[in-house]
Amino acid sequence: MAPTLAQRHLPRPARDWAEIQERMLVPLYEAVYERFEVGRHTHVLGLGCGSGLALVMAAILAPVGILLGCVVALVADRRSRRGTRP
C-alpha cells in the first residue's frame, strides 16, 4: 500500500494502525463511494480521516473533483505545541 500523507506524520502506533488495520476498511469505503455515486467530478471532504486512505481512494474515483482532508490529530498536536486551546 502506498504511504499517505498522514502516515508520514503520525506517531508510530498510529502509522501501524493505518498500515495494518485501515486496509480492512477498503470494502466499506468502496461501498460508501458506490452508494453515494462518487464519480469523476465529485467533491469530498474528509474530517478526521485517519491515514488518508479514504481520500486516496476518492481521488482515484474523482480525478477532476476537489478533495480536502483535515487530520484532527495533527491540528491538535500543532495547537498543543503552541500552547493554544481550541
Q: Does pTM surpass 0.75? A: no
Q: How far apart are CA 66 and CA 62, in angstroms?
A: 8
* Cβ neighbours around 68 below 10 Å, total: 11
Cell numbers that stand for 13 in this block: 502506533
State pLDDT tens for residues 16-69. 777 777 888 899 999 999 999 999 999 988 877 667 788 888 989 999 988 887
Residue 86 has pLDDT above 60, yes or no: no
Mean pLDDT of all residues in 60-85: 73
Among 2, 7, 24, 1, CA closest to 69: 7
Residue 70 has pLDDT above 80, yes or no: no
* Cβ neighbours around 83 below 10 Å, total: 6
Contact 18, 51 (CB under 8 A): yes
